[in-house]
Amino acid sequence: MENKMKRPHEHVDTAVVDLSIFASTCMCLTGFSTERKKELHKKIESLGGRFTRDLLTASTTHLIAERAEGAKFKEAKRCSNIEIVTPKWIEMCALIKEKVPTSNFYLVNSALDCNKGKFELSLQDTCDELLERIPANPMLSGCCFLLVGFSNKDWLGTNFNSLQQIHQNAKNDEELKFKQSLSKMIRRCMGTIYWDIHANITHVIVNEAEMKLSNALANFCSNHGNNPKTISPEWVIACLKSRRLQEEKDYPPQKRRIKTLKTKKKIPQSTTRQLDHFHGFFFQLCDSLQNAFTCNVMFKEDKVEKMIASFGGRILSREGIQLLRSSRDKSPECYVVNLSGPFNLEQCIRDDPLLNQITQHNLCTIIPVTVSWLQTCNKNKSLVEPAKLNMLFQPQPWPLRRIQGIKLKVAVTGFQGIERTGLSFVLLAIGANYTENMDNKNTHLICKEDMQQGPKFQKAMEWGLRIVKVQWLHHIMQNGYKKGCEHEFSLEKRNKDV
């Protein structure tokens, strides 16, 4: 496939390139008109990307915005895994048929919003992530670096001799940690770091540019034989991310105000608020299966209770009933989670004294849900409407069947947001191996019917995988897996006929 993508003059291969540019990205838009949103959504999908109406902190990779305002923008700023870029990034990728680095399209000056203390934390997290996945390589082998501006004591003078004051210790542990991580990245790419003035210096990495520092930099560079380039730490990160050297002029030194320690103290509080999406709701577990059958899926009660409690929910109790009586006018909700077996809500209410009291006195609304619904809510850090995906999130009048005697490795394509997440949890529950990425070792591809020309579909055809509609999953959830059951739900024959 890689060879084909290098020959854009061939019609079929160009389509493959176009459809794979935004593979593995999930975007959310904010602050645009309806027509503009439709236009951008169309471009995202045409380039193989996904978009969501809501900002999902666990899976969204990019927030597309033109103004630094709004609830989505504020939420994205708290998430180090979400890049905030302008729509020009999408348009540039579509224009040159290649996924370009986001660094030149960040909203709010490199998307780090230094004035609010996000800079140090974001760069530190990025450095740690790159150090985990970037192997040793010679990218920076011809570069010799001098690091300055990592403490208030650096570059105090304004003449050439002031360079002797460059290498003071970092002002605090956070600055030192960042300096060490940056140094590790440079060495891993075979760059050279000098801790003293040297004739070989080609780049000066400036962490914090102030007036005195700027004057000293200009003085130093003009008197140095190599005329070194002054850059910000983002230049190194951008080079590693894109795996090629970037233009130094695009990453000039910046004046920053670092409030790392205060920012890090606030983060656990923000995380705690995100993990309280079950706060104020009651839950009751229902085990409809009287006898244990190995072919049926059975969730462990203690693990489900722990999952509910860790995200702010409360298991229904006598004390809970009293609380519901006192807050009756607020119309609270109680979610009944089916652990196993065919589900019958009326039977659950008859067999459970607490649910019986709720119904008799009309204390709250009872909503039946599956464990997969719980898992999806927790992964997306928000409540999901169960009725939107009835087969995945609402218990059925038949038991969920476990796959027996065969190993299935399943990927999906064309599904977005909570539907994709829900499918993954159901597949894992019934004993299949769900994979986000697909290779020739997969056995099945569940494909949305309008995605039959996508890159995953084409590769699945080439590799001879079973390509099925989502109704196939619904079928084996109810009846279990039997060899040949794909035939009724296959999309392969239909594609060949076309």
DSSP β-ladder status, 365-370 and 433-434: unpaired
Please indicate, yes or no, if residue 376 is contained in any of the structural domains: yes
Asked whether residue 132 falls in the same domain as residue 188, the answer is: yes
pLDDT at 357 over 80: yes
The whole-number average pLDDT for the span 456-482 is 93
The pLDDT score that the predictor gives to residue 59 is 85
Please indicate, yes or no, if residue 270 is contained in any of the structural domains: no
Asked whether residue 10 falls in the same domain as residue 101, the answer is: yes
Share of the chain above pLDDT 70, in %: 79
The pLDDT score that the predictor gives to residue 325 is 79
Among 235, 262, 289, the domain boundary falls at: 262
pLDDT at 388 over 90: no
The pLDDT score that the predictor gives to residue 151 is 59
Of 422 and 16, the one with more pLDDT: 422
Looking up tokens 């210790």, which residue turns up?
169
Please indicate, yes or no, if residue 99 is contained in any of the structural domains: yes
Please indicate, yes or no, if residue 402 is contained in any of the structural domains: no
The whole-number average pLDDT for the span 121-129 is 68
Asked whether residue 144 falls in the same domain as residue 255, the answer is: yes
Among 238, 262, 286, the domain boundary falls at: 262
Taking a C-beta distance cutoff of 8 angstroms, is the pair 4, 10 a contact? yes
Question: pLDDT digits over 271-324, tens only?
Answer: 333 456 788 788 999 886 554 455 788 888 888 998 898 888 889 888 888 888
Please indicate, yes or no, if residue 107 is contained in any of the structural domains: yes
Taking a C-beta distance cutoff of 8 angstroms, is the pair 419, 385 a contact? no
The whole-number average pLDDT for the span 363-389 is 90
* CA angle, residues 128, 134, 137, in degrees to nearest 5: 135
How many domains, in total, are found in the chain? 4
Asked whether residue 211 falls in the same domain as residue 310, the answer is: no
> What CATH number corresponds to the domain at position 428?
3.40.50.10190
Asked whether residue 139 falls in the same domain as residue 258, the answer is: yes
pLDDT at 403 over 60: yes
Asked whether residue 86 falls in the same domain as residue 29, the answer is: yes
Asked whether residue 53 falls in the same domain as residue 148, the answer is: no
Please indicate, yes or no, if residue 400 is contained in any of the structural domains: no
Question: pLDDT digits over 54-77, tens only?
Answer: 888 778 899 999 888 888 888 888
The pLDDT score that the predictor gives to residue 293 is 53
Please indicate, yes or no, if residue 399 is contained in any of the structural domains: no
Closest among 365, 297, 369 to 333, alpha carbons compared: 365
Q: State the CB neighbour count (10 A cutoff) for residue 307.
A: 19
In this prediction the pTM is 0.47
Among 262, 287, 322, the domain boundary falls at: 262
Question: pLDDT digits over 73-118, tens only?
Answer: 888 887 778 888 999 889 888 877 888 888 777 875 333 343 333 3
Of 161 and 13, the one with more pLDDT: 161
pLDDT at 213 over 70: no
Residue 412 confidence class, pLDDT cut points 50, 70, 90: very high
Range of the domain at 231: 120-262
Asked whether residue 126 falls in the same domain as residue 239, the answer is: yes
Residue 212 tokens read as 């005195």
Please indicate, yes or no, if residue 330 is contained in any of the structural domains: yes
Asked whether residue 227 falls in the same domain as residue 325, the answer is: no
Mean pLDDT of the chain: 78
Which of 15-29, 39-53, 99-113, 137-151 has the least mean pLDDT? 99-113
Asked whether residue 141 falls in the same domain as residue 254, the answer is: yes
Residue 494 confidence class, pLDDT cut points 50, 70, 90: low
Asked whether residue 162 falls in the same domain as residue 78, the answer is: no
Q: What is the DSSP letter of 31?
A: S
Question: pLDDT digits over 169-203, tens only?
Answer: 444 566 778 888 899 999 989 999 988 888 899 99
Of 464 and 262, the one with more pLDDT: 464
Taking a C-beta distance cutoff of 8 angstroms, is the pair 276, 231 a contact? no
The whole-number average pLDDT for the span 151-177 is 49
Q: State the CB neighbour count (10 A cutoff) for residue 448.
A: 17
The dihedral through the CA atoms of 390, 393, 396, 402 has a sign that is positive
Give the SS3 label for residue 460. helix
Of 13 and 286, the one with more pLDDT: 286
Burial of 87 (0-12, 13-18, 19+ CB in 10 A): middle
Asked whether residue 87 falls in the same domain as residue 140, the answer is: no
